[in-house]
Amino acid sequence: MNASAWHMLLEGAWTTLWISGVSIAMGVTAGLILALIRLARVPVIDQLLVLYISLARATPLVTLALFIFLSAPTFGLQLDRNVAGILALTLNTTAFNAEIWRSAFRNFSREQREAAMATGMTPWITFRRIMLPQMVITSLPGLINEMSFLIKGSPAIAVIGIVDLTRVTNRISAVTYEPLPPILVACVLYMAIIGGLVWAQRVAERRANRLAV
């Protein structure tokens, strides 16, 4: 491959990285909020959230991206391709993250909550200082796993014209008629991105274990 092909691959990797990164950040945060709302068990709202989570988890990313991008003009919205892609990825990962957070909350020790409340802590302070740090640690494997799935599923947004790493790989293969080199480079780049997530998880877990001792 020539220098131009390498440059294109790195640009595609950057597109994949920043779009996935924004979607992950929004999805983790929104998932936590939805989990807390669901735990409040407000009848109508809870049923709507269950419906959303079920549909978002069952809908393929390709279909979701196409629906958002193509249906937006119907509602008078002109969405940029990147915005539509981020929205599709965020809606998908939020549904999975909400269940991960909800599971962590349900498994949290009731005795710790009661002890914190007995010392005079408000529910918000108890959640922020006692519960959330521990929930982050217990949820970390599931969250990292979902982040990895999101990055591996992100090529689906190429269907709406986003030039991500996979789309660049296909373009180079079509021009050079040598598909193997760009595919191998793309595999290495994907593994580097996901490997970075796994490394960050291990570092966070080691630090948490040291603090717990």
Closest CA relative to residue 149, chosen from 158, 138, 141, 137: 141
The DSSP code for 1 is -
Rounded-to-integer distance, Cα 84 and Cα 70, Å: 9
Per-residue confidence (pLDDT) for residue 106, from 0 to 100:
84
CB-count burial class (<10 Å; 0-12, 13-18, 19+) for 142? middle
Whole-model pTM: value is 0.89
Rounded-to-integer distance, Cα 102 and Cα 104, Å: 5
Per-residue confidence (pLDDT) for residue 95, from 0 to 100:
95
Angle at 117 between CA 114 and CA 123, to 5 degrees: 110
Query: What is the CA 129 to chain-centroid distance, rounded?
Result: 24
Q: Mean pLDDT, 10 residues at a time, over the chain (213 residues)?
A: 86 94 95 91 90 94 93 87 95 95 86 80 82 85 92 92 91 87 92 90 78 53
Per-residue confidence (pLDDT) for residue 52, from 0 to 100:
95
Per-residue confidence (pLDDT) for residue 192, from 0 to 100:
93
The alpha-helical segments, DSSP class H, found in 59-179 are 61-71, 81-106, 110-118, 123-125, 132-153, 165-176
The backbone torsions φ and ψ at residue 41, rounded to the nearest 5 degrees and listed phi first, read 55, 45
Check if the beta carbon of residue 46 is closer than 8 Å to that of residue 98. Answer: no
Domain map (residue ranges) of the chain:
3-212
Closest CA relative to residue 105, chosen from 38, 8, 19: 38
Per-residue confidence (pLDDT) for residue 211, from 0 to 100:
57
Closest CA relative to residue 32, chosen from 99, 85, 86: 99
Altogether, the residues listed in the chain come to a count of 213
User: Which superfamily does CATH assign the domain made up of 3-212 to?
Assistant: MetI-like (1.10.3720.10)
Per-residue confidence (pLDDT) for residue 147, from 0 to 100:
93
